[in-house]
Amino acid sequence: MNTRYDVVIVGGGMVGATIACALGDSDLSVAVLENFYPPEFEAAQPNDLRVSAISIASQNILQMVGAWDGVLSRRTCPYRRMKVWESNEEKAATEFISDHIGHEYLGHIVENRVIQLSLLERLQAFDNIDLICPAGVEEIDYSPGSSIVRLKDDREIVAKLLIAADGGESRVRQAAGIGVHKWDYEQFALVASVTTAYPQQDITWQQFTPTGPLAFLPLSGNNASLVWYNTPNNVKRLMELDDQQFMAELVATFPECLGEIDQLLERGFFPLRRQHAQQYVAEGVALAGDSAHMIHPLAGQGVNIGLLDAAALAETILRAQRVGEDYTSLSVLQDYEKQRRQHNLVMMQTMDAFYRVFSNQNKPLKVLRNIGFGLAERITPAKNKVMQFAMGLEGPLPALAKLEAI
């Protein structure tokens, strides 16, 4: 069986499903191929390990494609404050508060599954979109204008435009012969889902230490997600401890403001690497989200920039189609690349700079860092800029406005 679509999106994760929803109700026929449908959400379930800090810009995109209500009706935790400091120097902390720039909050911490479920639910309401799940992709044959995705059940899905939203190991990217620049940060992120003695909090904080940051992300109720960045060896050692020993290490290492930990619900770890596709587009193919870029999660920006890709790519396709241009052509797709690649590169370089500056134990640099935190605390315009950056309100957002106007 051979089925043809105008657009085939491989990967129905947060980014792929957003692109699909943005193309909902258009004249384009769209297929989303996703390997796994996430388990349904129930309020009584404990929080998932995978959570993301979602910026105001990302919230706007999810709202625009009709998925934000689904997120709110499931589970989120808004945060109003963000605090950063270096080991033993909480006095020199910088605290960002949303009220200071007239916003109710800086963003939300949301389980990735909640976002994905809300999007998948939304996209199934559109007549022009087919969700093929579980997809079981066997082979991808890239050919500009008529790429073929062969499924394990022998179905062939033919795409005028193939979109890679299939994550860091993207098979679409590989099939299209697009290379990446990459290196491993010599750091893993150990994520622990816990309940604490404090009721629901409205602050996310991060303490920088010589081996990597320690981060607290508030979740609904008295739940929290802790991220312990450390060397691969240390993380492997921590993962081998039993729950009691691990809790003891958490209490000994995390700052006092964490309060008591009542329960450890789950833990897992993620090797961290930086990866950037050499190009985001070729004739008849476009990459978005982690298939195009993977960045250090210390400032929680990976999916936020992925959702900006999603909005920009959908806008580029819809605009071309509206004016009768070929949306699979390299020249049209390069317009998307121009909007996103440089912006994402700057974000990656900023994360690298943070990683390098804070993992360096050079004494004068340490002094400078603390002066920096102290100054940042006192210089209001600088603080406001950082807040806008964290909220996704700094930098280019043209795709949003344009998409709304279509």
Q: Could you give the angle at which helices 56-64 and 302-322 cross, rounded to 10 degrees?
A: 40
- Of 334, 332, 319, 339, the residue nearest 397 (C-alpha): 339
Nearer Cβ to ligand FAD (86/290): 290
CB-based contacts of 221, cutoff 8 Å, min separation 6: 195, 199, 200
Toward ligand FAD, which CB reaches closer, 91 or 181? 181
By C-alpha distance, which of 363, 364, 389 is closest to 376? 389
Contact of 224 with 196, CB cutoff 8 Å: yes
Cβ proximity to ligand FAD: between 62 and 191 the closer is 191
DSSP string, 35-70: S-PPPPP-TTSPPPS-EEEEEHHHHHHHHHTT-HHH
Least distance from ligand FAD to the Cβ atom of residue 64, Å = 17
Minimum gap (Å) between residue 52 Cβ and ligand FAD:
4
- Pair 404, 117: CB distance under 8 Å: no
Shortest distance, position 368 Cβ to ligand FAD, whole Å: 27
For the packed helices 363-378 and 330-358, what is the interaxial angle rounded to 10 degrees? 110
Pair 107, 79: CB distance under 8 Å: yes
Residue among 16 and 218 whose Cβ is closer to ligand FAD:
16
- In the complex, what is the shortest distance from the CB of residue 50 to ligand FAD, in angstroms, rounded to a whole number? 7
Positive or negative, the CA dihedral 15, 21, 27, 31 is: positive
Minimum CB separation of residue 352 from ligand FAD in Å reads: 16
Q: How far is the CB of 367 from ligand FAD (least distance, A)?
A: 30
> Computed over its alpha carbons, how large is the radius of gyration of the chain?
22
Looking at the Cβ atoms of 92 and 294, the one nearer to ligand FAD is 294
Q: Which residues bind ligand FAD (CB under 6 A)?
A: 10-16, 33-36, 52-53, 135, 137, 165-167, 171, 189, 191, 270, 289-290, 297, 300-304, 306
- How far is the C-alpha of 222 from the C-alpha of 244, rounded, in Å? 20
Q: Which amino acid is at 57?
A: A
Minimum distance from residue 30 beta carbon to ligand FAD (Å)? 15
Shortest distance in whole angstroms from residue 248 CB to ligand FAD: 23
Between 195 and 304, whose beta carbon lies closer to ligand FAD? 304
- Listed in sequence order, the residues at least 6 apart from 173 whose beta carbon sits closer than 8 Å to its beta carbon are 164, 166, 180, 277, 287, 291, 292
CB-based contact 53:217 (threshold 8 Å) = yes
Closer to ligand FAD by CB, 16 or 66: give it: 16
Q: Which is nearer to ligand FAD, 92 or 306 (CB)?
A: 306
Length, in residues, of the chain: 406
Q: Least distance to ligand FAD from the beta carbon of 383, Å?
A: 21
Give whichever of 93 and 226 is closer to ligand FAD, judged by the CB atom.
226
Taking the complex as a whole, the smallest distance from the CB of residue 229 to ligand FAD amounts, in Å, to: 9
Which pairing describes strands 81-86 and 94-97: parallel, antiparallel, or unpaired? antiparallel
Distance CA 124, CA 305 (A): 24
- Please say which residue, 11 or 284, places its beta carbon nearer to ligand FAD: 11
